[in-house]
Structure 1
Amino acid sequence: MNAKDDQVTVGEPETIRAVPVRHPGRWVAAAVVAVLVAMLVNNLLTNEAYNWSEQWKYLFAEPVLNGVRNTIWLTLAAMVGGVLLGIGLALMRLSANPLLRWAAWLYLWIFRGTPLYTQLLIWGNIGALFPALGIGIPFGPQFASWETNALYSAAAAAAIGLILNEAAYMAEIVRAGILSVDPGQQEAAHALGMGRMLTMRRIVLPQAMRVIVPPTGNETISMLKNTSLVTAVPYLELTFTAQTIYSSTYQIIPMLIMACIWYLALSSVLMIGQYYLERYYAKGSVQGDAGRGLRARLVGGSGGAA
C-alpha cells in the first residue's frame, strides 16, 4: 500500500436537513376545543334562558349575601371541628389500646359508610329520637332536663352533621400523615425523654403536615360544596337561598347559575390559600428546595470555575 492510500480525504460535512416532527393530532384536538369554546361562548351570549340581568339583580342581594355568609361559616366550622376531632380519632386508631382502636374504627365505619345527606336528615330530626336532653348519672336519675327542640337549632344541626362526617375523613388523612414520618424519629425523641404527646406535637405533626395539607385543602373545597346538602335540615345556605328565590320568581336556571358563580369565587379563594399553605409546608423538602438547590449548585459551580 502506498502512503497516498493511507491518507483519508477530509471534506466539508454535509448540511443536516432537520425535518420538524408533524403533530396532526394536536391541531385536530386544538380545532375541536376551539369550536367547543366558541359554541359555549355563543350559548352564553345568545341563550335568553340565562337571563343575566336577573342574575345581576340578585347576585349581591341581602338574602343571597346572607346565604353566602352561612355557607362560609359552615365550611369553617366543619373543617375546624373536623380537623380537631379527626386528629383525636387518628391518635385513637394508632393507639396501643385495642378498645380505643376499635371505637375509632366503628366511628369511621358508620360515618364513612352512610350518605352525608341521610346523616343531615337524622340530625335535623334528632328531636324525634331524643325528645329531651338531661344531665344526671348514667343509667340513673337526672338532675335537669330540657326539650331538645328548644335547645337545638337548624344551624346547630347543620354544623354538627358536617363536623362529625368530616372528622371521619380527616382521621384517615391525619393517620396517613403520621405514618409517613420515619418511626426512628419518634424513638429518638423518646430516648431524649420526650413524652408521647410532646413528641407528636413537636416532632411528628410538623413533618406530617406536608402530607396532610394537600388532601385537607381538597376536603375544604369539597366541604364548601357539601354545605349545599344542609337543605335537608333545612338551613338557609347559598343553594337553599337560591331555591327560595326561584320558587317565587320561577327563574330556576338564572338563580342556580348565580349560586354556581358564588361557589366558583369562594373555591378560587380556597385554592389560592391551599397553594400558599402547600408551599409553606414544603420548605425543607426535596420538592420545595429543588429549585433553590439547583440554583445554588449553579451559582457555586460558576463561582468555583471563576
Structure 2
Amino acid sequence: MKRIFGLMLVLIVAFSFAGCDFDEKSIRSIYDRAIPQEVTKDFVLPRGAYAPITYTSSHPDVLEISNLYDVKVNQQDEDVIVTIEARVKSAFKIFEIKVLKKGSELTLKEQADLAFEKLNQMFEESISRETLLPNEIDNILFDYELDSYYKSFSLVRKFDGTKWLVPILNSTPSKDAVKLRVTVANETDEYIPTYYLNVSYVYDSDNLLPQEEIFLSLGMDFKFYSRGSARLYLKDNDTLDFTYQGDQENVNVAIRLPATSFDDDLTIYNNTLYVKTLLKNKTYYIIVSVDIDGITQEFRVFIEKSNIE
C-alpha cells in the first residue's frame, strides 16, 4: 500500500512539473520580434504554442485586447508607449509597443500585411494556367519560393526577372495545390514575417495551355489526348519529325526517350523519332517537351504497334 501511495505521489509531482514546463515553453515560444514595436492599426498577438496566453495592456484605452489575441488600436494625439504582459500562470514576458499618434504613416510591416492581403485575394480562385507572380504591390517588393518540393508545380524565373507559377500538366490531379513562401524586401530593422500563399490549380480542358496547342499542332496523328498524354499507333520503320514548323516565336520542341530506354526498338536523332521493329502487346513511350518563352510543359506519348499494315 505504501509503495502504491509513493508511486502516486511521484506521478502527481511529475505532472505538476510537466504543467509548469508547458507554461514556460508557451512563454518562451513567443518570438519577441513577432510583437510589433510600433503600430498604427489593429493587429493580432501570437498564440501560445503549448497553452493559451493571457495578454494584458497597461493602457487598455490605447491597446484594447479581446478574444485573447485580437488588439484594437486607438491612436492618440501623441505617441504612447504601452506595456504588454504575456502570462501563462506564473510564467510571463514583458513587451513595449509604441502606438504612433494620429495621422502617422503605416509601418513597413503594416504596409506589407496589406499588400499580402491583396496578393492572397488574387489567388482565392484556382488558377488554370501558368500565372505571373507580382514582383510588387503598393511599393512592397515580393519574392517567392516553393515551401517544399512539389511534383505538381514548378517556379520559373524568366530572363526578364519575372517569376511564374507553372502547374505541371501530367501531375496527379488530387495534389494540384502548392504553398509558396513569400518574403518582403526589407532594408530596415523592422521585423517582417515570412508569409505563406496557398494556390490551387484546376485543369481546364476547354481552354488549352499554349504548350498544349503547339503539341497538338505538330502534325502527328495523336489519339486519346488528355492532360499531357497522348497515344500513337506506328508501324515498323516509321519516321516522325517533331521539329516545330509553325511561325510562333520563342517556341522550342524537343523529344527524348525515358530513362528506361527502348533503344532496341526506338531511336531519336535530330528531333526525329526512328522506329525499328515494334513488338505487339508492348507499350513504348517518348517524352515531348514544348517550351514557350522559358516555360516548359512535358507530354508523354505512348506508342503501340499499329494493327494496320
Q: What TM-score bracket applies, with the shorter chain setting the length?
A: under 0.3
Using the size of structure 2 for normalisation, the TM-score is: 0.25
**Hey, which of these two has a bigger chunk of strand by percent?**
2
TM-score w.r.t. structure 1 length? 0.25
